[in-house]
Structure 1
Amino acid sequence: MGNYTNEELNVALWEVSSTISNCEKIHGKFEEGTAQYSLLRNRIKAMIISKLLIEYELSPEEQMSRHQTDDRVKKLGLDRENVMVQYTKAELTEALRPVVSVISKCEKAQGKSDEGTPHYRRVENLIKAMEIAKALIEAQLALDEISGDL
């Protein structure tokens, strides 16, 4: 779908996986039904969708060298090979919202840091990862539109 190198995809995959892990660590600290709980649940789902799409983009050689099973994916009953049919158009569209939100928050945070600092670079990597995720979700939505028109 995209013209990303395996290196770019691997960095994005690491950032997305790290975001999932961080969200899961704090998710349990909020009561079910609260806004924070729902926000994190939606963000985790968006990041899992992003992770699966990024993995799908990796070259076959790179995919074979990666550990393809993931507890979060198993827990949600997802299959990376069938990511294109695992989600409805509405779910993919909904996944865009948290991804765009992370980009926006990171850009604001980055504006408060000096260029070249570790914090600036960390946020820059996360922005790039989210931009890749956003592009892949949008590309999948476009593919779904095309297949729906046939």
Structure 2
Amino acid sequence: MNDFTKEDMEEALRAITSMISRTEKSKEKFAQGTSQYTLQKNRLRALNIVSSLISKELKESNGMDCYTKEDLEKALAPIASLISKSEKAQKKLAQGTWQHTMLSNNLRALYIASPFLTKALSEISAGKRQALK
């Protein structure tokens, strides 16, 4: 996307990769079938999708992703939730602490990732509309 520099996207990708790692570890702490497990599973799926979308943009690839419209739609809520929860948590932390810095990096990454998700969803929707004509 033209609004972000290559460096912005690379930093976002690093932060998202870190979030994926932490989410995978967190998911292991919960029993399958619990709401916490499902929440972590949905977050993990959404983070993997946005990671893939940013990676695709960095490689400037025109290849089609293997995500369906439903996959992309389901990824919207977990990303929005991560943004909201991170913003609330960050307000409770003192600037300069490692937690505040980590949340700042995560938020910057999620703000970059969100438009990629929206764009991919629009492209899939437009493609389906064209196929119906």
Q: How does 1:101-120 map to 2 (within 5 A)?
A: 101-120=81-100
Q: Does 1:27 align with 2:7?
A: no
- SS of 1:86's equivalent in the other structure is coil
User: How many Å separate the matches in 2 of 1:8 and 1:135?
Assistant: 13
For structure 2, which runs of at least 5 residues remain unmatched after alignment? none
Q: Identify the residue that residue 112 of structure 2 maps to in structure 1.
A: 132
Q: Identify the residue that residue 101 of structure 2 maps to in structure 1.
A: 121
Q: Identify the residue that residue 48 of structure 1 maps to in structure 2.
A: 48
Q: 4+ residue runs of structure 1 moved beyond 4 angstroms?
A: none
Going from structure 1 to structure 2, the CA distance change for 1:134 and 1:149 (only over 3 Å counts) comes to same
Q: Determine what percentage of the aligned residue pairs are the same residue.
A: 38
Q: Identify the residue that residue 36 of structure 2 maps to in structure 1.
A: 36
Q: Is the 8 A contact 1:53 1:83 kept in 2?
A: no
User: How many Å separate the matches in 2 of 1:97 and 1:127?
Assistant: 15
User: How many Å separate the matches in 2 of 1:83 and 1:37?
Assistant: 32
State the shift of 1:117 in Å. 4.1
Q: Identify the residue that residue 71 of structure 1 maps to in structure 2.
A: none
Q: Identify the residue that residue 18 of structure 1 maps to in structure 2.
A: 18
1:72-111 deviation line (CA, Å, top 9, x unaligned):
xxxxxxxxx6874411111101001111111001100111
1:21-55 deviation line (CA, Å, top 9, x unaligned):
11111212211100011111111111110110010
Going from structure 1 to structure 2, the CA distance change for 1:114 and 1:28 (only over 3 Å counts) comes to closer
What TM-score, normalized to structure 1? 0.79
Matched length:
130
What TM-score, normalized to structure 2? 0.88
For structure 1, which runs of at least 5 residues remain unmatched after alignment? 61-80
Q: How does 1:73-84 map to 2 (within 5 A)?
A: 84=64
Q: Is the 8 A contact 1:17 1:51 kept in 2?
A: yes
